[in-house]
Amino acid sequence: MATSGYTTAGGIGVERESREVDEAALEEIVTALGERRGGAFSSGMDYPGRYSRWAFGYVDPCLELVAKGRTITATALNERGRVVLPAVASCLLAAGKPLTEPTADRVEVHVPESEDLLPEEMRSRRPTVFTAIREVIAAFKGDDPHLGLYGAFGYDLAFQFEPIRQELVRPDDQRDLVLHLPDRLVVIDRQRETSLEFRYEFTVDGVSTRGLERTGDTLPPAAPHELPKNPEKGEYAKVVAAAKEKFKRGDLFEVVPGQVFHAACTDPSAFYRGLRRSNPAPYEFIISLGEGEHLVGASPEMYVRVTGDRVETCPISGTIARGSNPVEDAEAIRTLLSSVKEESELTMCTDVDRNDKSRICVPGTVKVIGRRQIELYSRLIHTVDHIEGRLRPEFDALDAFLTHMWAVTVTGAPKTWAMQFIEDHEATTRRWYGGAIGFIGFDGSMNTGLTLRTAQIKNGVATVRAGATLLFDSDPEAEERETELKASALLGALAAVGRPDDAVPVAEPREQPGAGLKVLLVDHEDSFVNTLADYFRQEGADVVTLRHGFPVHMLDEVAPDLVVLSPGPGWPTDFGISALLDQVYARDLPVFGVCLGLQAMVEHAGGTLELLDYPEHGKRGQVARLGDSALLDGLPPEFTAARYHSLHAKRPGVVGFTPTALTPDGNVMAIEDVERRRYAVQFHPESILTQEGGAGAKIIANVLRLSRR
């Protein structure tokens, strides 16, 4: 155990004890957060230069700050909090007017609006509830990197700076800010491979917390209420249509309205654990806010991070659904990066973000250090920019936080007009959505994430809000689907609560069309033979691979149900394939040729082969089916396949077979002789480029079915 101490700028004595603990200490905190105040935060993703993995948590903080509108209250949550409260009370009283007589447990003040006109450069210093928070930070200022205020910042805090006409009724239980002062923290740094617990003792006006117990109220979860209705199809599309009229008028450039979904949740801690597993994100969190309210989320987006004088943000805009495998992901990324609309979304977000920083940063230091970088999440792919600036000496982390309020990625541009549109068109107040979670360090640092992909949980009901960035060229139905897709990660994790950690859905037994069949695969010195064999084995077939030139009697010894002619270099004559086909056909064996195999079958039947003007090696090809095809059954009329060939057959040059697929320039891609069970494809079904929709595997399965007598 290590002990250190210091006196803060406000004269508060701080003693810190640190010791190594097992990572299980953090999981104990997560469990406790189901019924006690506190928070746990983690980063489940590594993106070099942006995010690394860490985790920290606390339970039973000694003191709580809560804001509703311009009223801010400090409450001691235990005996230790009563020791600290006088120091915090003086900070609040310096910022506002008391509404009630301060007590040993509570002080409440109102921060009135200023009648003075401040220039925009000083907007973050306007009198608001943050004036009181700034006083608290100043009083506790010190070098400890972990001591600070932890919690959540609500969306409505922006209205203390922006003149938004409020149309929606604010619920009585809505709070705009909840911050905790923890006196015990567990901090896990997975880069340094450390897991430490920090315990703090405070001395205020000669009175110390040492020897006082760390306790807190137990807040049992309420019985679940009836779930509100989820949005009806088409409701969000109407909001998109209204936004397009604003774009046409020039009132808005972009706007990010949301819609709300609901699900049951009686175990926030289990939900948080499940969400971390199913949807890792840079900002994963569970915050027990008291009054039976929890926030659980996995946000992909940094709000504001400050280290020293460096301020960073990572605006996200540009979204596409993930594919079912990395190849489909790559295609989705290609589509995303080539979309002018998606690029415009992020460009506007970044330009607004740069503007926010220019208010408080040293001239010339605001820079885009990462442009349209790809981030992959459980169900979505995003494009992300990374922006930094250097704070001017007269500004601090809180100025950086306030000048970005709120991120354009959750509001739109111009910001005030976009926020007014949201107020006028969303069905309910945003509460925490679109605000921030994280901590403000007493050492001048800050790390906050946007409150996205977040569930607000109260009375057993989880409320999930999801939005989409709208532009004039937005498609209403597509944007509505995007909100549903964004919400689905949380709704899926909520549905899985209570399922054992190792439980996996039991898949229906898959048909094995190759079961009981033996395949002879003839290897023509190709680089893909083993993968081709694996595809047949996946369908249940027994595969024997022989290098070309094997003795003919082995055909009878192997006794295959199907002969597969592999791809290979050169021409069919280089391998004597014609002689082998004579023997195979004489035995009335089914045959399937791939690439060189197709060329050999065409040439053996008396057809002609030609060289392509430009070889197609490892290239993506568009293949169009021609009429009915037993070999290509189950594939769409057009599909993508991998081409690895210089030789080819033209449709008029094919003899004895029916061509059933072509490229746009007329190259034969598939041939069939169903009666004699002879089939071939020019493309490679085993390539990653033929995986879209499972095309390659479907062709192999079809070949095996067609091979049965």
Query: What CATH number did the domain enclosing 89 receive?
Result: 3.60.120.10
How far are the Cα atoms of 524, 531, 569, 684 from residue 527, in angstroms, in the given order? 9, 9, 9, 12
The set of residues, in sequence order, having a beta carbon less than 8 Å from that of 486 and lying 6+ positions away, is 319, 380, 453, 466, 467, 468
User: Which residue in 623, 567, 624, 572 sits closest to 602, CA to CA?
Assistant: 572
Judged by DSSP in three states, 15 sits in strand
How far are the Cα atoms of 69, 383, 459 from residue 332, in angstroms, in the given order? 43, 12, 39
How far are the Cα atoms of 217, 447, 579, 586, 655 from residue 552, in angstroms, in the given order? 84, 72, 10, 12, 26
The DSSP symbol for 1 reads -
Residue 317 lies in a domain: no
In terms of domains, do 143 and 179 share one? yes
- What is the Cα Rg of the chain in Å? 32
In terms of domains, do 118 and 211 share one? yes
So what's the pLDDT on residue 501?
54
In terms of domains, do 425 and 559 share one? no
The DSSP symbol for 361 reads B
The DSSP symbol for 169 reads P
In terms of domains, do 48 and 108 share one? yes
**How far, in Å, CA of 285 to CA of 154, rounded?**
15
In terms of domains, do 489 and 620 share one? no
Residue written as tokens 């569970």?
A: 286
**How far, in Å, CA of 352 to CA of 367, rounded?**
13
Domain endpoint, select from 496, 531, 555? 496
In terms of domains, do 462 and 538 share one? no
Percent of the chain topping pLDDT 70: 98
How far are the Cα atoms of 182, 324, 345, 469 from residue 321, in angstroms, in the given order? 39, 10, 17, 15
Question: Cβ of 220: how many Cβ atoms within 10 Å?
Answer: 8
Residue 397 lies in a domain: yes
Domain enclosing residue 699, as ranges: 518-707
| Strand-strand pairing, 562-565 and 591-594 | parallel
Report, as an integer, the average pLDDT of 484-491: 91
The model's pLDDT over 227-262, given as tens digits with 9 standing for 90+, comes to: 888 888 989 999 999 999 999 999 999 999 999 999
| Tokens describing residue 26 | 């953090």
Poorest-confidence range of 95-104, 210-219, 308-317, 396-405?
210-219
Burial of 516 (0-12, 13-18, 19+ CB in 10 A): exposed
**How far, in Å, CA of 64 to CA of 289, rounded?**
9
> What total number of domains does the chain contain?
2
**How far, in Å, CA of 626 to CA of 299, rounded?**
48
Is-contact 188 52, C-beta < 8 A? no
For the chain, the farthest-separated pair of C-alpha atoms sits apart, in whole angstroms, at 104
For residue 671, what is the enclosing H or E element? strand 668-673
User: Which residue in 135, 445, 183, 201 sits closest to 306, CA to CA?
Assistant: 445
So what's the pLDDT on residue 114?
86
| Tokens describing residue 137 | 């930070």
So what's the pLDDT on residue 324?
86
**How far, in Å, CA of 247 to CA of 242, rounded?**
9
Question: CATH number, domain at 623?
Answer: 3.40.50.880
Residue 616 lies in a domain: yes
Residue written as tokens 């003693």?
A: 15
Question: Cβ of 666: how many Cβ atoms within 10 Å?
Answer: 11
Residue 382 lies in a domain: no
Which of the residues 479, 524, 595, 692 is marked catalytic? 595
So what's the pLDDT on residue 1?
79
The model's pLDDT over 606-650, given as tens digits with 9 standing for 90+, comes to: 999 999 999 999 999 999 999 899 999 999 999 999 999 999 998
User: Which residue in 300, 282, 276, 303 sits closest to 53, CA to CA?
Assistant: 282
How far are the Cα atoms of 81, 141, 686 from residue 15, in angstroms, in the given order? 15, 14, 64
The model's pLDDT over 160-194, given as tens digits with 9 standing for 90+, comes to: 998 899 999 999 999 999 999 999 999 999 888 89
In terms of domains, do 266 and 193 share one? yes
How far are the Cα atoms of 13, 170, 344 from residue 91, in angstroms, in the given order? 16, 28, 44
The model's pLDDT over 328-358, given as tens digits with 9 standing for 90+, comes to: 899 999 999 999 989 998 998 999 999 999 9
Which of the residues 254, 293, 603, 686 is marked catalytic? 686
| Tokens describing residue 570 | 């050169």
Is-contact 197 182, C-beta < 8 A? no
In terms of domains, do 453 and 591 share one? no
In terms of domains, do 472 and 540 share one? no
User: Which residue in 43, 118, 116, 134 sits closest to 400, CA to CA?
Assistant: 134
**How far, in Å, CA of 662 to CA of 665, rounded?**
8
Residue 363 lies in a domain: no
pTM assigned to the model: 0.84
Residue 621 lies in a domain: yes
Supply the DSSP string of 150-163, one letter for each residue: EEEE-GGGGGGTS-
The size of the chain, in residues, is 709
Question: Cβ of 13: how many Cβ atoms within 10 Å?
Answer: 16
Poorest-confidence range of 224-233, 292-301, 383-392, 427-436?
224-233
For residue 506, name the pLDDT band (cuts at 50, 70, 90). Answer: low
Q: Is the pLDDT of residue 117 over 60?
A: yes
Judged by DSSP in three states, 305 sits in strand
Which of the residues 262, 423, 684, 692 is marked catalytic? 684
In terms of domains, do 182 and 64 share one? yes
User: Which residue in 321, 329, 229, 293 sits closest to 454, CA to CA?
Assistant: 293
Mark whether 595 is an active-site residue.
yes
So what's the pLDDT on residue 91?
97
For residue 317, what is the enclosing H or E element? strand 316-321
Residue 362 lies in a domain: no
Alpha helices in 124-205 (DSSP H): 129-139
Whether a cis peptide bond, with omega within 30° of 0, leads into 406 is yes
In terms of domains, do 595 and 457 share one? no
- Average pLDDT of the chain to the nearest whole number: 93
In terms of domains, do 602 and 473 share one? no
